Amino acid sequence: MATLTLMLDKRNKNAERFPLVIRIAHKRMPKNIPLGYKLALNEWNEAKKQIKSPFKNSARANAQVQNKMTLASQVISEHQTVLDEMTVYQIAKLISEKIKDAEKEKLPVALNKQGSNPNLLEYGEKVIDRYKKAKRFGMAKSFQDAIDMILRFHGNTELLIKEIDEIFLEDLEADYLGSGKKLNGLGVRLRAIRRIYNLAIKDKNTELTLETYPFGRGGYSIKTERSRKRAVKLDVIEKIRQLNYPIDSSTWHHRNYFLFMFNMRGMNFVDLAFLKMEAISEDRLKYKRRKTKRGQNVKEFDIKITAEARRILDYYSEGKAKDDLVFPILEDVIHSNDDLRLYKVYHNRLCNHNRRLITIGKAIGLEEHLTTYVARHTFATAGLHKGVSKAQLGDMLGHTNYYTTEAYFGDFDKEVLDEAAEQILG
């Protein structure tokens, strides 16, 4: 028999606030379903299983929680005859899906009800859906990550956008950095929240104005720190070349991908994954970048194929037609009509590629992680050290304006100057 209990998940002994969950117990196995609230101990009445008044909007929160408990009970009742054949995880999945479906059905009503004063979760979902329709799945994911971060910190899914003020953001920053996370990660997420806030202000269906706007002059400033460029010396590239891997092994393929990207002026992995045979034109590679910002011209590359790149291409291109992918990274899903699935598979395989590169880096004793960006940054650094102008390198890397190139090479200049000084002094 499956039982349901409303409770705080207190497994994190160091936490000050605890997730409110429905605990399912079935066949002596427990499983928790988070309900979207984090409560301090003084905000929870254990005897009555209710959120207490110190918690903001406690009455509304209790109504939401009880609705979810009712839905969970319905699932148990509807599957009573087959519960013995089910695992606790299957039951939890059914309950989570029922709660999620119920929230989706209520979404239009909720938006109309408080459309003039929207909450972050509901309005954010509208923004995310817009990006998904435009097939900009990476942007949609960045918005979802940002909303999840804010709600985890706040502990209440009913957070109104206008409640995100300067003090809220300062507290969030202190909590985020205090947990050991990097400043730039916070900046990426807060820029997504700022975008949602800006859209809500422009939306005629809301009453949000610039008077409550927490960002910018006189408000909270999104901070960043310059990322250290992930370049290695050229002898590291040579060591990678000399590694002895069995032909056609997984690591052998990923080493090939890395070396090909380096030879093609620091080619992006997304362009490598989607590269088609038609891009090969005798001794040149001609292709258009996939990763471009909206409103920018699509960068077209026309690159001479090096001897090393040619050897790699000869292996992968044998017997293929012009419309085939050069590399086998996405060949099993490239014809899928589900663009979201294609994006997810690509993202997973990018992560897998970086994991393989870390293994390759360890094999040559590299202390830092080897990633796709290392090929790009190493190519750029080597060019700068050899006297190639920033303008030329910016064009090789596919930058569309001067400012991008200047920012990109910001950390490289001191290395070049240090080496020049050593030559003068030494």
For the chain, the domains span 3-111, 114-212, 234-425
pLDDT of amino acid 391:
73
Give the span between the Cα atoms of 415 and 382, in whole angstroms: 11
Name the nearest CA neighbour of 76 among 18, 10, 31, 106: 31
pLDDT of amino acid 103:
73
Residues in the chain: 426
User: Which of the listed ranges 107-111, 269-273, 407-411 does the model predict with the highest average pLDDT?
Assistant: 269-273
Considering the domain 234-425 in this protein, what is its CATH number? 1.10.443.10
Does 359 score more than 90 pLDDT? yes
pLDDT of amino acid 36:
86
Considering the entire predicted model, what is its pTM? 0.62
Averaged pLDDT, 21-38: 91
* pLDDT (tens digit per residue) in 226-280: 666 677 788 888 999 999 999 999 999 999 999 999 898 888 899 999 999 999 9
pLDDT of amino acid 110:
38
Give the span between the Cα atoms of 127 and 131, in whole angstroms: 7
Beta-bridged to residue 276, according to DSSP, are 325
Give the span between the Cα atoms of 124 and 73, in whole angstroms: 29
For the chain, the average pLDDT equals 85
Averaged pLDDT, 7-33: 90
Does 395 score more than 80 pLDDT? no
pLDDT of amino acid 108:
41
Name the nearest CA neighbour of 237 among 336, 374, 340: 374
Confidence of residue 112 (pLDDT cuts 50, 70, 90): very low
* Contact (Cβ atoms closer than 8 angstroms) between residue 120 and residue 196: yes
pLDDT of amino acid 113:
42
Radius of gyration of the chain (CA): 27
CB atoms within 10 A of CB 314: 9
In the chain, the percentage of residues whose pLDDT exceeds 90 is 44
User: Which of the listed ranges 93-107, 109-123, 165-179, 386-400 does the model predict with the highest average pLDDT?
Assistant: 165-179
